[in-house]
């Protein structure tokens, strides 16, 4: 048996693949702005409260990171080009990405719009050994979407995810099952799931700094230090992760929220923002074939205190107008607010699969008319892009929308 054949046979234990796009939002934006390739680019709003959604690798060299306040990012890298996000475009590219994954294997577990776990055990007879399948995924993403992906392959989800991070950008790393422990024991303790900054500090105080140190610490000691997490961390340090790829993840809720550039007192501004959020949320419900039986309102005040209120609906809905009417009623029911509003959010909850035969109707057919109009909006926006057409009340709002909104 030749060396390559032996390696392929041994690596057939590596049935878990983690695929992660490289700076996904930036990569998609650069398809529109190819002249910016190779330059520092940041995707996010421009408002004082905006955060970085994604940064190119050129910007990351200056210390820019996702979720960093935009003001900090611009101080670190003032020469960066800052691009406003286009969430509708990202969702479209994500749908094409997931379709590529599902053509490889039906066992796909999306983690976000730009990453997923794949179980390729059943695909090897048709597509070859794990490394060959990983290269196939990377080549198809590059050819069909014109962006790049990093692929980690291992015998467990935990190690596959670490591997994809270690080979970024645009790489592939396969960790053979028999080399898993050696691979893990070279890593900093922060590589273990469940070890954040505070846990890392607690472990460092007793001289535990690497995964090797964790693996050679008695579980009882780790449990005294970390509580129930101690055993979990110990098992991971020895490569034990029995979780399977779960292809069906039922959405429990969908929603959107907006952080204002300036705190807001006016009811009209809040209601207009709720209408926009209702349209974003309803479009996502319809695209996913879902309906909502409950809607919730979220307000964050100027002092960062947060209030939420929810309402159960009489019938499941996927109409923006019906979501808006319900959540506007929640807002009105609060009465006089104690202070101005920093953030407002709307969330559709208690989701269920939409039944096309069960439209939400009033006696005069008004709700049916709303639903038909929103179906037309969906078709037009799919053709011309997000916000290609919208209710007249939102036109000025979209043009002057304060940056920094979150989806």
- Tell me the binding residues: 20, 114
Number of H helices, E strands in the chain: 17, 12
Return the structure tokens found at 30. Answer: 């650069």
Question: Hey, what's the torsion of the CAs at 310, 314, 315, 318, to 10 degrees?
Answer: -40
Residue 42 and residue 68: Cα distance in Å, rounded?
11
The set of residues, in sequence order, having a beta carbon less than 8 Å from that of 328 and lying 6+ positions away, is 271, 274
The 3-state DSSP class for residue 281 equals: helix
The set of residues, in sequence order, having a beta carbon less than 8 Å from that of 306 and lying 6+ positions away, is 298, 299, 300
257 is an active site residue = no
* Bridge partner list, 253: 349
With CA atoms as reference, report the closest residue to 153 among 145, 140, 144, 162. 162
With CA atoms as reference, report the closest residue to 330 among 317, 346, 316. 346
Question: Hey, what's the torsion of the CAs at 92, 354, 347, 91, to 10 degrees?
Answer: 0
- Annotated binding residues for Mg(2+): 20, 114
- Residue by residue, DSSP assigns 12-52 as GG--EEEEEESSHHHHHHHHH-GGGTTS-EEEE--STT-BE
Q: Check 29, 58, 109, 115 and give the catalytic one.
A: 115
Cβ contact 140:276 at 8 Å:
no
Catalytic residue ranges: 115
């Amino acid at each position: 048996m030749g060396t390559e054949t032996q390696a392929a046979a041994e690596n057939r234990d590596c049935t878990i693949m983690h695929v992660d796009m490289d700076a996904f939002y930036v990569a998609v934006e650069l398809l529109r702005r190819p002249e910016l390739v190779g330059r520092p680019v940041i995707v996010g709003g421009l408002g004082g409260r905006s955060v970085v959604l994604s940064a190119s690798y050129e910007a990351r060299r200056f210390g820019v990171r996702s979720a960093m306040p935009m003001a900090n990012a611009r101080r670190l890298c003032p020469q960066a080009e800052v691009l406003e996000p286009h969430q509708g475009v990202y969702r479209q590219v994500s749908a094409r990405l997931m379709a590529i994954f599902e053509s490889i294997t039906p066992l796909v577990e999306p983690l976000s719009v730009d990453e997923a776990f794949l179980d390729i055990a059943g695909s090897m007879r048709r597509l070859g050994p794990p490394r060959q399948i990983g290269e196939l995924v990377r080549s198809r993403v590059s050819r069909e979407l014109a962006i790049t992906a990093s692929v980690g392959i291992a015998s467990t989800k935990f190690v596959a995810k670490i591997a994809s991070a270690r080979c970024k950008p645009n790489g592939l790393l396969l960790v053979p099952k028999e080399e898993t422990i050696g691979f893990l024991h070279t890593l900093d303790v922060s590589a273990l799931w469940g070890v954040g900054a505070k846990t890392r500090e607690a472990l460092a105080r007793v001289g535990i700094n690497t995964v090797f140190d964790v693996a050679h610490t008695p579980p009882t000691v780790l449990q005294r230090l970390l509580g129930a997490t101690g055993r979990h961390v110990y098992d991971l340090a020895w490569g034990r992760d029995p979780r399977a790829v779960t292809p069906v993840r039922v959405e429990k809720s969908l929603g959107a929220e907006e952080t204002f550039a300036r705190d807001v007192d006016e009811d009209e501004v809040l209601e207009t923002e709720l209408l926009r959020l209702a349209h974003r949320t309803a479009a996502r419900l319809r695209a996913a074939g879902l309906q909502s039986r409950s809607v919730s309102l979220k307000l964050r005040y100027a002092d960062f205190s947060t209030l939420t209120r929810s309402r159960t609906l009489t019938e499941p809905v996927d109409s923006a107008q019906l979501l808006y009417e319900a959540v506007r009623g929640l807002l009105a029911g609060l009465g006089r607010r104690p202070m101005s509003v920093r953030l407002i959010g709307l969330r559709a909850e208690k989701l269920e699969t939409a039944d096309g035969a069960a439209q939400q109707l009033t006696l005069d057919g008004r709700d049916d008319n709303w639903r038909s109009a929103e179906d037309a909006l969906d078709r037009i926006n799919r053709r011309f892009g997000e916000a290609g057409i919208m209710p007249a009340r939102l036109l000025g709002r979209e043009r002057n929308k304060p940056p920094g909104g979150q989806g």
